[in-house]
Amino acid sequence: MQQVNLGMIGGGTVGSGVFHALQLNGGLLASRIGVEVRVRKVAVKAFDEPRPYEIPKSSMTTDWQAVVSDPQVDVIAELAGGTAIARTMVLAALKLGKPVVTANKALLSACGEELFAAAREHGTNLYYEASVCGGIPIIKSLREGFVGNRITRLYGIVNGTCNYILTRMKLEGADFEAVLKDAQAQGYAEAEPSLDVDGHDAMHKIGILASLAHGFWVNPKDIYVEGIRSVTQTDIQFANQLGYTIKLLGIIKRDEGQGTKAGARRSSPARVQVSVYPTLVPNGHVLASVNHVFNAVFVRGDIVGDTLFYGRGAGKDATASAVLSDLADAALDLKFGTKHRVPPFVQHERDGAVVPIGDVVSRYFVRLNVMDKPGVLAKISAIFGEAAIGISSVIQPEGHQGATVPLILMLHDAPNGAVTRALKKISGLAVVKGAPVMIRVENFA
């Protein structure tokens, strides 16, 4: 049996998880692929840093450069995280012609094009299944399983922290801040939670998926992002009354009407919505029932139709499973000399573009805090009417105490920019108190 020597950079939660998984199932992996993956060295920040699984001190070093440059190391696994030093580490390995496995979505989001180009230039490969949705094999599915499909829709619940918070807010009637504090206490949220709750982690992941699905590299600056801090218990209750559940969705939609007819030699340049924001999901849709820390990705291909991927999207074991999958691919590519059997990224749509959020069309849930007096709805309706925005339903609860009452409006399909401008005018009305709340509604058509 052949042997591939692995050099690991990072021995924390993910790194020790991979080390443990190889100790546990390395023999099984070898029997399935005919190659033994053996850990030669693990570069760590410190020998005594806390880690969920033990790594023998004899296997560790604090010199990552020695691991990368070791001539007996065949494959590098970058599991350190971050972007600056991780970029240096990965580029150093690629320039030596060594394949790299990474779980670093922030690095790929920021530097993906550069790293893929370096892999091509130096005749090696970059594997990154673990960078998106942990143990869910969505990268391999988009690159290989759906290679004959145009991806027309992709919706992802890709951040477990946000999904956990929104789930508990709905099921328990709790407020955001209270659930966030509990999530931090249980380790589901970081002490500084902005990466998760402000949508940036989901943005990194959805940008990678959009790039793979549509063949042009999506600049993170072009992705519209909203987090969940503004979602209130009131919004969740009214959404449920209307038959919806609020989820933080990553949304990738190709413009309808583009050339996708059978036999077409080439479709027109892709114009794609790539966004992350809280969304009203119909309670009858499968994504509405994805709860707690679980992730799910709903993919629609023009040939395959609708598919769903579900599982744990983070954590030491789920991520380790994806890293082992990439290590198996890297070992097989080395065994058979097929370094570019599946290129990390193929830019086949050079003229593709991300649709600005102002041009994105959807339905909307709008909550206003208004004075309880005659004529209020007429004034609000007039502004929407001037903007050619239709109102599909209105809720104004009876018996509400106080000088103001909540007014809930469901709007028909309209461009985001038009709705934003109309709400700015509405917020200036004397009868409207406080800032309007607007949450988009997805019908999955």
Asked if residue 353 is part of any domain, the answer here is: no
Does 343 fall in a domain? no
- pLDDT at residue 265, as a whole number: 42
Classify 252 as helix, strand or coil. strand
DSSP 287: G
Here the CATH number for the domain that contains residue 367 is 3.30.70.260
How far are the Cα atoms of 66, 193, 386, 393, 430 from residue 366, in angstroms, in the given order? 57, 27, 17, 11, 18
* Size of the chain, expressed as the number of residues it contains: 445
Q: Which helix (H) or strand (E) holds 65?
A: helix 64-69
CATH number of 99's domain:
3.40.50.720
pLDDT of residue 206: 98
Question: Do 72 and 216 share a structural domain?
Answer: no
**Number of domains forming the structure of the chain:** 3
Domain assignment present for residue 352? The answer is no
283 in the same domain as 179: yes
- The DSSP symbol for 119 reads H
pLDDT score, position 267: 55
- 326: domain range? 2-135+317-336
Structure tokens at 164: 């956990």
350 in any annotated domain? no
Separation in Å, CA 247 to CA 24, 130, 193, 197: 36, 23, 18, 12
Structure tokens at 81: 């995280």
Q: Are 67 and 41 in contact (CB under 8 A)?
A: yes
Annotated active-site positions, please? 205
303 plus 189 within the same structural domain: yes
In this structure, are 282 and 324 located in the same domain? no
∠277-86-119 over CA atoms, to 5°?
A: 95
- One domain, residues 386 and 269: no
Tell me: do 214 and 104 sit in the same domain.
Answer: no
Matching residue, tokens 């849930």:
365
| Alpha carbons 228 and 371: distance in angstroms, whole number | 27
- Residue 78 in any domain: the answer is yes
130 and 241 fall within a common domain: no
Helical H segments across 296-413, by residue range: 316-336, 376-386
* CATH number of the domain encompassing residue 192: 3.30.360.10
DSSP β-bridge partners for residue 80: none
Same domain, 274 and 177: yes
- Looking at the fold, whether 157 and 130 belong to one and the same domain comes out as no
Integer distance in angstroms from the first to the last C-alpha of the chain?
51
Cα–Cα distance measured from residue 97 to residue 214, given in angstroms and rounded to the nearest whole number: 28
pLDDT of residue 1: 78
pLDDT per residue, tens digit, the chain (445 aa), is 799 999 999 999 999 999 999 999 999 999 999 999 999 999 999 999 999 999 999 999 999 999 999 999 999 999 999 999 999 999 999 999 999 999 999 999 999 999 999 999 999 999 999 999 999 999 999 999 999 999 999 999 999 999 999 999 999 999 999 999 999 998 889 999 999 999 999 999 999 999 999 999 999 999 999 999 999 999 999 999 999 999 999 999 998 754 444 444 445 778 999 999 999 999 999 999 999 999 999 999 999 999 999 999 988 999 999 999 999 999 999 999 987 778 889 888 888 999 999 999 999 999 999 998 999 999 999 999 999 999 999 999 887 767 899 999 999 999 999 999 999 999 999 999 999 999 999 999 8
Residues 123 and 174 both lie in one domain: no
Cβ atoms of residues 410 and 242 within 8 Å: yes
Consecutive H or E run containing 425: helix 416-427
Considering the domain boundaries, does residue 344 fall inside one? Answer: no
Q: Judge if 260 and 331 occupy the same domain.
A: no
Query: How confident is the model at residue 261, as a pLDDT?
Result: 46
User: 345 lies in a domain?
Assistant: no
Residues 36 and 107 in one domain: yes
Is residue 346 domain-resident?
A: no
